Structure 1
Amino acid sequence: MKLVRYARIGLLLGIVLCCFRGAAQHYQLLDGRKKSPKIPFELVNNLMIIPLEVNGTPLRFILDTGVNKPILFNVADQDSIELRNVAKIQIRGLGTGDPIDALRSTGNIFKLKGLVNPGQQLYVVLDREMNFSPSLGITIHGIIGYDLFRDHVVEVNYGRKFIRFHNPATYRHRNRSREVTVPITIDRNKAYVSGGVTLEDGEELDVKLLMDTGSSDALWLFRDDDEGLYIPEKHYEDYLGKGLSGTIYGKRTKVKQIRVGDFVLNDAKAAFPYLDSFRALPNLGDRDGSIGGELLKRFNMVFNYPSGELTLKPNAHFRDPFHFNLAGIELEHAGVRYIAERITDSRGVVQQDEEDTFGTVQILTSQRTRLSLVPEIVVSAIRAGSPAEEVGLRQGDVILAVNGKSVHRYKLQEIMKMINEKKGKRIRLLIERYNRDLLFSFTLRELFE
C-alpha cells in the first residue's frame, strides 16, 4: 500500500538526544516531606500532561520516561521565560533527517507541586515545526522524564490521573491484591522491562522493551527474523510519528498476545518501525521494542528506579479495546475561526447552552446572533487506501460537523473518537473546502480483513 505523504507533528515522541555530559541535578521533596502531594495530570491521547514551573513561568510538559533531559518546544508565545547559561548546540533524534539546531541551558529552577530542582539542565528546540500542541489540541511546551524518576519512587495512577513522588529512604510499599512487581533495568537513563509477545499462532517470544510513557502508541517491535520477530501477514504501511530528525514510518499490525509480568493482553495493537529511523542510536543492543501509553494506561504502577522494580496493577482501562484509526485521517488545530449561531428559538426566547464550548470568545449582536471564536479543526493527514481517501477527503479540509454534531463543542480527541467509533459505523463529515461546504460519507471497516 502506498502512502499519501504529509507534514504534521506525530504524537509519538520517540526523542533521543545526543549525549551531553554535565553536572548532576536532583529534585528534592520540599520541607523534608516523605512524599509529595498528589499531582494531577491530564491524559490526552494516552500522554500524561503535567503542570511544571520553569524559572517562575507555569508551563505544561509531557511526562516521558523515554527522554533523558527536559526539552522545550513551544516557547514562541512565552517571552517571559528566562533561560540561563545558554549555548548553541546540535541534537539528533529519531527519524532519517539531519541533526537540528538547539540551545542548551543550565542552572534553571524547575518546580513541580512538592518538588524543586534549583539546577536543571534543559534543551530548547529552535525548529518551530516541532510543536505538539496542534495535534493534541492543548498547549504543550515541552517534555521531561528521567530527572524526575531517578531519585524517587514514582506512583503513577492512570485510573485517577495523578502522580506522586516518594522518598525511597522512607518508602514502604503496601501489597495490594492483583498487583505484581517485576524487575526493570536502567540503561542510559531509560527503563526497560522484560515481557513476552506472541505474534500469530506461534510460541511466545521473550522481549526486552523500553518503558515509554511519551509514546501515545501501544507497542513497537523491531523486526528480527533470526529471533522470530517477523511482521505478521495482516498489516498495512503507516506513518508512526515524528522524531527530532524526521518522520517515522513502519508497518501497523496487531499481535495475538503481549505479556508483562503475569498480565496478558490479547489482540494488542503493534507496529514495526523501519529501523533506518533509529540511526541516531549508537546501538540498540538487546532491546526489542517499546511499550507506550496506550498499553501502559491500563495499569496503575509504581516506578522504583533506585531499587530497579516496577509494580503493576490493572485498572478500569485494562480491558479497553485498542484504538485503530479506521477512518484513516488525522486532525489538528490550525488557528481559530468565527462561527455564527442563532441564540433564540422561534418565539424569540434566548436559548442557553447546556454544555459550554472550550476555548471560545463570544460576541452577541443586535440580531440575536452569537459570533464565537473557536478552534479550527483541519485534516492534517490521510492514509492511502483508507475510507476517507476513497471518498475524496483531502489534507487541509476544515471539519465542521461529524454525524450532524458541530465539532467546536468537542475536544480534539473526542472528535477523533467520534470519527473512529467502531467498524461498520457510517460516518458523515461536513467540511469546508475553498469556502464551500461539502458533505462526505463513508463506512468504517476492519483493517485486517
Structure 2
Amino acid sequence: MNPLMRAVNFFFLKVILIPLTIGICTPYASKAQQFGFNGSRTKSAVNFTLIRNLIIIPLYINNKGPYNFILDTGVGPLVITDTTIVQELNLKDLRPIKISGLGKGMEIDAFLSNQISAQIGKANIDYIPTAILKSDILGLSNYMGTRIYGLLGYYFFNSFTVEINYSSKRVIFNLPGTKKKIKGEIIPLQIINSKPYINVELDIKELGSINAKVVVDNGASHAISLETLNEKPFPIPPNAIPANLGIGLGGPISGNVGRVPKMRIGNFELNDVISSYPIYDDVAAKTLILNRNGNLGSEILSRFNITFDYANEIMYLKKNQFFSRPFEHDMSGIEVYVEEEPEKRYFISRIEPNSPAQLADIHEGDEIISINFTSTKTLNLNDITKTLRSGDGRGIFLSINRNGDLLIKLIKLKKRI
C-alpha cells in the first residue's frame, strides 16, 4: 500500500477488520483463560503514552518484549499488525485465513494462532485468541509516529476492573470483586460481541433530541462518529464540510465533519462536539452495525478518568482537567504521516480541497522540514497536530522539501466548522 494512503483516521481502518476477527477467533476460545496474577496479588498498574488520544502500553508476548500495543475497547481478540513479531517469536503452525473487508471482492490475508501468551504489568494470560495480519495494512506506526505492534482489547478488559487515568497516564487494574471505592458517575454498559455500548443523548437543531446507542471505543481518536439513524444514513448537519475520513480496502472512505451542538453522557454535558459522518455505504452498510448509531471515541473519553467494570456492565466517569477544552478540527487541511527508518521524517499524505494548505500551494508528498522554523526532528505528532489546530487566523510557516527543493510556505489557519 502506498504510504501516503496509510496515514488516515485509525478508526475507519479498524472497522474493516475487527468485527470480522471476533468470530473467526472463537475456535481457540475454549483454550483461552482470562488474564490473572500469580500468587495472592489482586492489583497491578502500568504507565502509558498518549498519542493522538490513543493509549500505548508495553505488552510482553511469549516472554519477549516489551512491544507497544494500543489498549482498545473496540477490539475482541489480540490483533498483531506488525508482521516482524512473527519472526521474532518464531511462531509456527499458523492457520491461514481470508477476511473479507470493505471494497469490491477484496480480502485480507491473516493467520490465527493459539500459541500466544501475553503479559501486561504483573498480569498474564495463556492461549489468548490472536489474529495476525500477513501484511501491515493498518500502518499504525506511520499514523502514531512510533513503532506499534498491535491492539489489545476485550480479554484484558473482561479480566479486571480497569481504571484509565488520563490525568496521570496510568492504567490500574484489579481483579473483579476486589474491595475498592471507585469515584465517578455510574454509566450502564452493554457488552455486545465483546464491545461495550452506552446510550448518549444528542440535541440537534434539525432532529431534536436523539437517544443514540454508541460503541465505547477508546481506540478511535475522534470524538464521535454518527453512522446510522433508523437504519438509514445519519443526517448531515448543514454546517458540515466534506472530508476524507479514512481508507478502505476499496479506496478512500469519504464523508463529512460537523458539530453536535449538545451531547449528554449521564449527567455530563458537552457542547459543540466535533462529529464525523461517514458515507453510509462505505462503513455502516458494509460492517453489519445497523444496531447502533455510531462510535464514541477518545477525543471525548480522554476528558474523563474512566473505570470499566465489564463484570457488572457499568463504567464510572469522573471528569478531569481536560473536560472543558474546546473541540477543534484541523485548521490547515493537512494530514501528516511519519516514516521511522532510517530516521523520523514527516510527510504530507493528503490535502483537503479548498483548505488553507491548498491555497498555500502545499502538495501531497511534501516533506515537512520545520514548523515556524522549529525543526521537526525535535517535534512529535502531538506537537504538530496541536500546532495545526492552534487558532483561527494564525499564520504558520512550513519549510518543506519538494523533490529536493527547499520551499517556505505560509499557511493561514482557518476554523472551517
| Residue of structure 1 equivalent to 2:109 | 101
Identify the range of structure 1 (74-83 vs 296-305) with the bigger mean alpha-carbon deviation: 74-83
Which of 173, 186, 203 is the aligned partner of 1:181?
Answer: 186
The residue identity in structure 2 corresponding to 1:153 is: T
Query: Is 1:301 matched with 2:306?
Result: yes
Query: Do the aligned partners of residues 245 and 85 (structure 1) sit closer, same or farther apart at CA in structure 2, a change above 3 Å counting?
Result: farther
Give the letter aligned to residue 8 of structure 1.
R
Structure 2 partner of 1:311: 316
Q: Using a 3 Å threshold, how does the CA distance of structure 1 residues 280 and 90 change in structure 2: closer, same or farther?
A: farther
SS at the partner of 2:115? Answer: strand
User: CA–CA distance in 2 between the matches of 1:126 and 1:246?
Assistant: 19
Corresponding letter in the other structure for 1:149 = F
Judged with a 3 Å threshold, the aligned counterparts in structure 2 of structure 1 residues 200 and 222 are, in CA distance, closer, same or farther, namely same
**Partner residue of 1:275 out of 265, 280, 288:** 280
Kept in 2, the 8 Å contact 1:95–1:247? The answer is: no
Change (3 A) 1:199 1:149: same
Is the aligned partner of 1:123 residue 2:131?
Answer: yes
Q: Unaligned 5+ residue runs, structure 2? A: none
Give 2:289's aligned residue.
Answer: 284
Structure having the larger proportion of residues in helix: 2
Which of 390, 393, 400 pairs up with 2:359?
390
Q: 273-282 or 259-268: which moved more? A: 273-282
Contact 1:94 1:279 in 2 (8 A): no
Q: 1:108-152, CA deviations, whole angstroms, 9 ceiling, x for partnerless residues?
A: 111111111111121111224432101211110101111111232
Partner secondary structure for residue 270 of structure 2: strand
Question: What value does the CA root-mean-square deviation take over the aligned residues?
Answer: 2.3
Q: By how many angstroms is 1:83 displaced? A: 2.3
Cα contact 1:94–1:242 (8 A) shared by 2: no
Tell whether the 8 Å contact from 2:85 to 2:149 is kept in structure 1 after alignment.
no
Alignment-derived partner of residue 213 in structure 2? 208
> Secondary structure at the residue paired with 1:197?
strand
| 4+ long deviations beyond 6 Å | 225-228
Give the residue type in structure 1 aligned to 2:357.
A
Aligned equivalents of 1:295 and 1:375: distance in 2?
29
Q: 1:417 to 1:184 in 2, by over 3 A?
A: same
Secondary structure at the aligned position of 2:312 is classed as coil
Overall identity of the aligned pairs, in %: 28
| Conservation of the 8 A alpha-carbon contact between 1:95 and 1:242 | no
Per-residue Cα deviation, 1:308-357 (whole angstroms, up to 9, x for no partner): 111111011111122311101111222457xxxxxxxxxxxxxxxxxxxx
Please state how far the C-alpha of 1:54 moved relative to its aligned partner.
0.9
Aligned twin of 2:72:
64
Which residue matches 1:354?
none
Equivalence for 1:8: 6
Distance 1:97-1:153 versus aligned 2 partners, 3 A rule: farther
Shift of 1:207: 0.5
Q: 1:81 aligns with which of 80, 89, 98?
A: 89
Q: Which residue of 405, 410, 413 maps to 2:379?
A: 410
Structure-1 residue corresponding to 2:55: 48
Partner of 1:347: none
Q: Alignment partner for residue 253 of structure 2, among 245, 248, 254? A: 248
Does the 8 Å contact 1:94/1:280 carry over to 2? Answer: no
Q: Give the counterpart letter for 2:159 in structure 1.
A: D
**Among residues 366, 388, 401, which one is paired with 2:370 in the alignment?**
401
Looking at structure 2, the residues matched to 64 and 440 of structure 1 have their Cα atoms a distance apart, in angstroms, of 38
- The verdict on how the C-alpha distance between 1:303 and 1:128 changes in structure 2, with shifts beyond 3 A counting, is closer
Q: 1:329 aligns with which of 334, 351, 361?
A: 334
Answer with 1 or 2: which has the greater Rg: 1
* Cα distance change of structure 1 residues 378 and 175 upon mapping to structure 2, 3 Å threshold: closer
Could you list the runs of 5+ residues in structure 1 that have no partner in the other structure? 1-5, 338-373
Partner of 1:358: none
Q: Paired residue for 1:380, among 345, 349, 352?
A: 349
Q: Aligned partners of 2:338 and 2:43: how far apart in 1?
A: 35
Show the counterpart of 2:222. 217
Pairwise CA distance, 1:182: 1.4
2:199 counterpart residue number:
194
Tell me how far 1:382 sits from its aligned partner. 1.1
Distance in 2 (CA, whole Å) between partners of 1:97 and 1:227 is 24
Corresponding letter in the other structure for 2:52: N
CA distance in 2, matches of 1:429, 1:280: 40
Check whether the contact 2:5–2:247 (CA below 8 A) recurs between aligned residues: no
Q: CA deviation at 1:160?
A: 1.0
Which of residues 160, 163, 177 is equivalent to 2:168? 160
Matched residues in 2 for 1:9 and 1:427: separation? 22
1:362-381 alignment, distance < 5 Å = 374-381=343-350
Contact 1:96 1:277 in 2 (8 A): no
Higher mean displacement: 22-31 or 438-447: 22-31
In structure 2, how many angstroms separate the alpha carbons of the residues matched to 1:332 and 1:396? 10
Partner residue in 2 for 1:90:
98
SS in 2 for 1:140: coil
Q: Which moved more, 1:278-287 or 1:110-119?
A: 278-287
How far apart are the structure 2 equivalents of 1:114 and 1:283?
Answer: 37
Q: Which residue of 2 aligns with 1:342?
A: none
Secondary structure of the equivalent of 2:281? Answer: helix
Give the superposition deviation at 1:225: 7.0
Q: Structure 1 residues 282 and 313, CA, compared in 2 at 3 Å: closer, same or farther?
A: same
**How far did residue 304 of structure 1 move?**
0.9
Which deviates the most, 375-384 or 218-227? Answer: 218-227
